[in-house]
Amino acid sequence: MSDVAEQTDAPADGPRHAHREPRHFVRMVVIWLVACAIAMPLFYFLVGPHVPPGVMTSTAEENQFDFNILMVLAIPVLFGVWIYIGYSLITWRGSKAADPVGGELARGHMGVQTGWIGITTVFVLGLAIFGTYALITTNGAGGGEGPNPVWTPTSAHVLPVQVIGQQWKFTYRYPTFGGFESSDLVLPVDTTIAFHVTSLDVIHSFWAYQLSIKADANPQVDNVAFTTTNHTGSVTVRCSELCGLWHGAMFDYGRVVSKNQFEAWATATRIATAANTKLLPPFALTYTPDANGAAGGYYPDNVDPYSPSEVYGAKQPAS
């Protein structure tokens, strides 16, 4: 967009031609305007609603909107450059007989250069402000916000779900339901969720695609990400940080269900897994594996190797 428009006053101090030169810039701008006028609404209204990650959650909706806005802004930039260069290549081809001298004498043009810098600067600052606004209003846009989130949801009821990454599986703990651990990710609809993502071994990344949640699972770090579920449905979870041999196979499926169904599932699972839960370490934001299993996620028998990471340098079990 900026690329063409501002060049309408481009240098023209070359030799005057006998015949009147076509008004190249007017042509380019017209082609560009028409192309943009077609492509921008076409993308926004036809493609936009189908752009990943969909609209299952508040963050998904916002991130889809963000992507679409960026795409609508990118179209004029892409078209501007392509149309300008394409037009130039067709119009200003040199003759077959090599003419070693020629071309328009234009070493620079204050107006064009200043205009270019000015417009791109305003454009880029606008993007940064837009992105920052979107990041803050969505409480981190579904991205990992570290252990002390700067932007937190105002909702009074936030369901905490802990995501534990280990080679090569995600498991989920529900601290408000007695801290049971499940291989299934089940979430209630119309609820604000706080994912507490951590790892027992290497760095993983919890990518719940339809929820538009992505947070790295670091050992010893409680990485928090927020979203609010708006629709029920199925969720694909993939690890999006290379974590070793079976990284490619580290995926599972979750679901967003009605509140009643969730309540029923959680209560049933809590009872069914009660015996297992007793054997688990008490719920903590992070877990320290045994010293021998450092970075290996090793659970020894008969010792409680776990300590919350906030107590730095917590006692390690004898090994």
Partner 1 sequence: MTISAEREREVAYPDPTPPSVGWFQGLPARPGWLSQHLGTAIIGAVLGYLLGHWLGNVVASGYTNVANSGVNAIANTGGIALGALGWLAGIGAINYPLAKIIGKEPAPEFETTSWSRYFRYTADHKVVGMQYVIGVLTFLFTAGLLAMAIRTELLSPSSHVFGPGTYISIVSEHGTMMMMMATSVVVGPLGNWLIPLMIGARRTAFPRVEAFSFWIFSAGYLTILTALPYGGFPTGWTGYAPLQTQAGGGMISYLAGFALIGLGMMAAGFNLGVTIINYRAPGMTWSRVPIFVWAILSTCALLTLATPTLVAAGLFGILDHTAQTAFFVTEHGGSSYLWQNLFWFFGHPEVYIMALPGFGIVAEILPVFTRKPLFAYKVAAAGMLGVALLSFFVWQHHLFQSGINPDMRPLFMLTTELISIPTGFIFLVGMGTLYKAKIRFEVPMLFALAVFFNFLIGGVTGVFLSDVPVNVTVHGSFFVLSHFHYTIMGGLIFAFFGGLYFWLPKMTGKTMNKKLGQIHFWFMFIFFNFTFFPMFLIGLLGQPRRVFEYAQNLQTLNDISSISAFILGASFLVFIANFVWSIFIKPTPSPANPWDSLGLEWQTANPVPYYNFERIPVVLNDPYHYSEHDAAAVADMGDPVLVGAVAPTGDGGGDTTGDDPVTPAE
Helix (H) / strand (E) containing 194: strand 192-199
Nearest distance from residue 94's CB to partner 1, in Å?
Answer: 4
Going by C-alpha positions, the residue among 16, 17, 18, 34 that lies closest to residue 26 is 34
Going by C-alpha positions, the residue among 191, 196, 265 that lies closest to residue 228 is 191
Going by C-alpha positions, the residue among 26, 116, 42 that lies closest to residue 75 is 42
Q: CB nearer to partner 1: give 93 or 278.
A: 93
Residue 236 · residue 253 · CB < 8 Å: yes
What tokens were used for 106?
């234009």
Nearest distance from residue 54's CB to partner 1, in Å?
Answer: 10
Backbone angles phi, psi at 204, to 5 degrees: -115, 175
Cis bond leading into 11, ω under 30°? Answer: no
Residue 235 · residue 56 · CB < 8 Å: yes
Q: CB nearer to partner 1: give 34 or 128.
A: 128
Nearest distance from residue 278's CB to partner 1, in Å?
Answer: 26
CA distance 35 to 30: 8
Nearest distance from residue 42's CB to partner 1, in Å?
Answer: 17
Q: CB nearer to partner 1: give 139 or 269.
A: 139
Q: CB nearer to partner 1: give 103 or 301.
A: 103
Q: CB nearer to partner 1: give 71 or 158.
A: 71
Nearest distance from residue 132's CB to partner 1, in Å?
Answer: 4
**What is the four-CA torsion angle of 304, 310, 314, 316, rounded to 10 degrees?**
50
Nearest distance from residue 286's CB to partner 1, in Å?
Answer: 9
Q: CB nearer to partner 1: give 182 or 212.
A: 212
